[in-house]
Structure 1
Amino acid sequence: MDDIGREIEPLEDPVDDDDDDDFSEDNSSKGGKKSKLPLVNPTCVESPKETGFHQSTRTCLERIREALLHHRWQEASEYMACYPQMLEDPTNGTAQHYKELIWGISTEILHHHPNSKMEDYNNIYERMKNSGVRHYLMICLEHSFHLMLNGHIEDAKRQLSVAESWRHGKESASQLQTTKLIQAYRSLLDYIIWCDKKSTLSDGDHNQDMHNYFRQASVNLKEILRNPGVWDPFILSYVEMLEFYEDHAQALQILNDYAYDSNFPPNPNAHVYLYQYLKRHDHPDKRMSKAALKILHLLVPSHELMLEYSSFLLQSEKNRDIQKAFGVILEMLDFACWRDNLDVWKHLKTIIQKLQLQEDWKNAVSELMAVRKDWWPALHFTTFHASRDSAENPELMEVKASLTKILCPDLNLKYAAGTS
């Protein structure tokens, strides 16, 4: 909408700085100086440099903006049918900008118009593709998204296949990057078709046509790891197909590379996917699972898998690991989303019971609670919490009340008083 606002401003002669002192209420009657106060509706003010053609197209654009703001989609579409004449202006030196504007407004109207049809979308996308080459690839990609969302998977794939082979002039870095993105999405469509074919097969049955889609998809999906980025849906699709064909070594290699390649940005999901895969296949090397959760803890200490990470730590029976498990659960409870979760509090109680078997357990607790004593009671142990937990979850209240003196021995907590 800001782009529309910029376009509707009329062309004006520059104003000298020396004229600023001539500002007055009636300066418009003195032959020259216009008020600098913002006008409520500066629609069609004439200027020496503005032709009637410019004025009419600018007025048309303003009417489109008004219709969009008030969700009058039919009215906006009627004005939009006239606005593209701006592209025919031989004096227009920024035609590319107007093409982008027409592209954006047209698709916005079609998305909201109750009577829009797929044919209308196809027409506008094809028209914008043929209006210039600068955004050809991005328009193809957006067109395929729309087809995909409406269930036209084969049509969407055809759009991307055409775009994938499209070349214009010297290939720029941005063009190369967009082409790689198009290849990735084309492979994702191969995966979707593969899934559709798989759903029609009986258990354990294989199909050559289905395998062909797997091979087509795998070529580019494997290449994704050569380009640092966040590729979650593409990686998951590739791994699912590899699992189906029982290529577990390749699947594990892909997930390891995605999680640990230093060229990629930190991505908590990459470690989640690796851990889930290892757990799903009961991988014998538990250290890999523990390592994935350890890094996930560093990235997202509030993640739900921290319950499993603390359980891993407890399995070692080492004093250091038990203390670490205690810290992991405390960090989960630092976040308000977990403060009413019975499983987390029960797990905390289990950890503390194991911790109390150590001689220095009080020091271990006080060390981690020292940085929390000023705000943890207000987060978990107020009279309000006692009243609510008593009414909504008595078991939770019982567990929390049993831990108050252990976690905050020097404080007279109102939560504990509320349990009496």
Structure 2
Amino acid sequence: MLHHRWQEAAEYMACYPQQLEDTTAGPGKHYKEMIWRITIEILHHHPNSKMEDYNIIYEQMKQSGFKHYLMICLEHSFYLLLHGQIENANRHLSIAESWRHGQETAHQYQRSKLIQAYSGLLDYIIWCDKKNAPTKTSSTTAGSNKDIHYDFRQASVNLKEILKYPGVWDPFILSYVEMLEFYDAHDEAKKVLEEYAYDSMFPSNPNAHVYLYQYLQRHNAPARRLMKVLKVLHYLVPSHELMLDYNSFLLISEKPGDIKKALGVLLDMLDYACWRTSMDAWKCLKDVIDKLQLQDDWKEVVAEQMTARKEWWPAMHFTMFHASEDAVQRPQLMEVKASLTKILCPEMKLTYPAGQITKDWRI
């Protein structure tokens, strides 16, 4: 395998199925997972491997013992899914979902819940395919709608059940919410997203707040409601691209103090190198400062925000290298940054390199 000699590796592995059938305390009993992993890896790389070979190995491994049964079923379903056999993959998961062996351990319980989650996800995929399939005649519409609704019930039972357990369930949440929206169950969809975002049972997950914000935005929620969601997201990920939306809400808000918050939000974004050359972020910052300058205390507000940044912000944004690069590649960004330098860093003086625009950044 290390030398990619897959044909020879397959020939050596051919003898191991006999070990799997050995009921004595031999190597096959102790190394079943290793045999499973290596055999599948060889099949992935062997130029002549067929789907039938995979199916034989997976079924053989399932019958070799119960310890890895659920995970082998899940992997088998993934393989079938990748090859377009959605119904067949779902059938295998349904079998695994009802499988039990002896007294259920905590480990087995967790895996069974994972099987249940993916079973619901495959039901959702089948629901999507049927929902998007064109109906040829009106006489088939009633029966088609009945089948689609049946698939919705199948999927929703498993997807709703999995949300009772802590974890990061992003694709399952999105699938469930999409189905609820399709059937106009908006209150239930919003409740699911709110619980996923705010229930302490679930681990901290910025995506949960993104999904809630996007849902509320689709359904024309009030600006204040959207801002509450973005406020939490700002705490979790201050560099998130939705902070531009948050800034827009704060900028048009008439609540005292929101313009100051907007300044903090944008400076927090620009603390991260990924936004250093973003025209959108710098333009928003200029808009905020322009509005902030209408207040008598604007200098104090800016100084308060920049106090902790004055030692390292100039090196991050306002060096001669940045000036030279921006002048050539991003002249519009250069103009915006030049107009903000004196305001953000009043003690700093930088001049563009000779041969380019000789212009003091303090002007």
Q: What CA distance in whole angstroms lies between the structure 2 residues aligned with 1:84 and 1:191?
A: 36
Aligned equivalent of 1:181: 114
- Correspondence 1:274 to 2:212: yes
Unaligned runs of 5+ in 2: 136-140
Give the Å deviation of 1:319: 4.1
Check whether the contact 2:19–2:27 (CA below 8 A) recurs between aligned residues.
no
AA in 2 matched with 1:263: M
Segment of structure 1 superposing worse, 74-83 or 231-240: 74-83
| Alignment equivalent of 2:257, drawn from 314, 320, 323 | 320
Aligned equivalent of 1:105: 38
Aligned equivalent of 1:296: 233
Residues 258-284 of structure 1, C-alpha deviations (whole Å, 9 max, x = no match): 11111110000000000000111112x
Check whether the contact 1:381–1:416 (CA below 8 A) recurs between aligned residues.
no
- Correspondence 1:152 to 2:85: yes
Percent of aligned positions that are identical: 69
Alpha-carbon spacing, 1:135–1:401, altered in 2? closer, same or farther (3 Å): same
Corresponding residue SS for 1:357:
coil
Alpha-carbon spacing, 1:134–1:163, altered in 2? closer, same or farther (3 Å): same
Aligned equivalent of 1:69: 2
Give the Å deviation of 1:317: 2.8
Q: What CA distance in whole angstroms lies between the structure 2 residues aligned with 1:101 and 1:242?
A: 42
Alpha-carbon spacing, 1:109–1:414, altered in 2? closer, same or farther (3 Å): farther
Give the Å deviation of 1:211: 0.9
Alpha-carbon spacing, 1:79–1:93, altered in 2? closer, same or farther (3 Å): closer
How do 1:13-412 residues align onto structure 2 when only pairs under 5 Å count? 68-87=1-20, 92=25, 95-201=28-134, 207-283=145-221, 285-412=222-349
Q: TM-score, normalised by structure 1?
A: 0.80
Runs of 4+ in 1 over 2 A off after TM superposition: 82-97, 285-288, 413-419
Unaligned runs of 5+ in 1: 1-67
Corresponding residue SS for 2:161:
helix
Give the Å deviation of 1:379: 1.1
Residues 302-325 of structure 1, C-alpha deviations (whole Å, 9 max, x = no match): 000000011111222334111111
Corresponding residue SS for 2:257:
helix
Residues 45-102 of structure 1, C-alpha deviations (whole Å, 9 max, x = no match): xxxxxxxxxxxxxxxxxxxxxxx11112112111111244544677746644310110
Alpha-carbon spacing, 1:413–1:94, altered in 2? closer, same or farther (3 Å): farther
Larger C-alpha radius of gyration, 1 or 2?
A: 1
Aligned equivalent of 2:138: none
AA in 2 matched with 1:213: D
